[in-house]
């Protein structure tokens, strides 16, 4: 959040346009609610593929090379701690995550996470 204090239009919960914390452009932001569903991983804990598992995935002949590249790029972003939108299987849930909102920059697609009306990421 370096520079937010001297930003002309700092990120704020009551704005649809602010200086993006990712690309730093004054840009329109789309606000999103978050909904929850239990993790689908059979182990019952969040799925992460890293290290040797990611190496195996990158060479898995079950997937065409383009799909493998896409999957590896996805896990590299997740493993780096990024928070981003990704198309996944449709879900049906009525569990709203109250008090948590997301804002997405229309300029760079960078996402911010807000808890209790305060930006906590990035």
Binding site for Zn ion (CB under 5 A): 20, 22-23, 105, 107-108, 110
Dihedral through CA 3, CA 4, CA 10, CA 14, nearest 10?
160
The nearer residue to Zn ion, 19 or 49, going by C-beta atoms, is 19
- As measured in angstroms, the least distance from the Cβ of 29 to Zn ion is 8
Whether residue 10 contacts residue 24, with contact meaning beta carbons closer than 8 Å, is answered with: no
Q: Which of 9, 34, 25, 16 is nearest to 114 (CA)?
A: 34
The nearer residue to Zn ion, 23 or 50, going by C-beta atoms, is 23
- As measured in angstroms, the least distance from the Cβ of 103 to Zn ion is 10
Record the tokens describing residue 62, joined without a space: 């079950």
- As measured in angstroms, the least distance from the Cβ of 84 to Zn ion is 12
The nearer residue to Zn ion, 72 or 105, going by C-beta atoms, is 105
- As measured in angstroms, the least distance from the Cβ of 99 to Zn ion is 24
Record the tokens describing residue 7, joined without a space: 């930003």
The nearer residue to Zn ion, 25 or 34, going by C-beta atoms, is 25
User: 109-119: string of b/e by CB count within 10 Å (b at 16+)?
Assistant: ebbbebeeeeb
């Amino acid at each position: 959040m370096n520079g937010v204090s001297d930003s002309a239009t700092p990120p704020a919960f009551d704005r649809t346009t602010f200086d993006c914390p990712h690309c730093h452009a004054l840009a329109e932001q789309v606000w999103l609610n978050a909904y929850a569903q239990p993790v689908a991983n059979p182990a019952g804990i969040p799925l992460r593929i890293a290290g040797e598992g990611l190496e195996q995935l990158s060479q898995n002949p079950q997937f065409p090379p383009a799909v493998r590249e896409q999957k590896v790029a996805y896990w590299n972003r997740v493993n780096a701690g990024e928070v981003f939108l990704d198309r996944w299987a449709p879900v049906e849930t009525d569990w709203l995550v109250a008090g948590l909102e997301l804002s997405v920059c229309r300029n760079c697609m960078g996402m911010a996470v807000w808890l209790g009306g305060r930006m906590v990421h990035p």
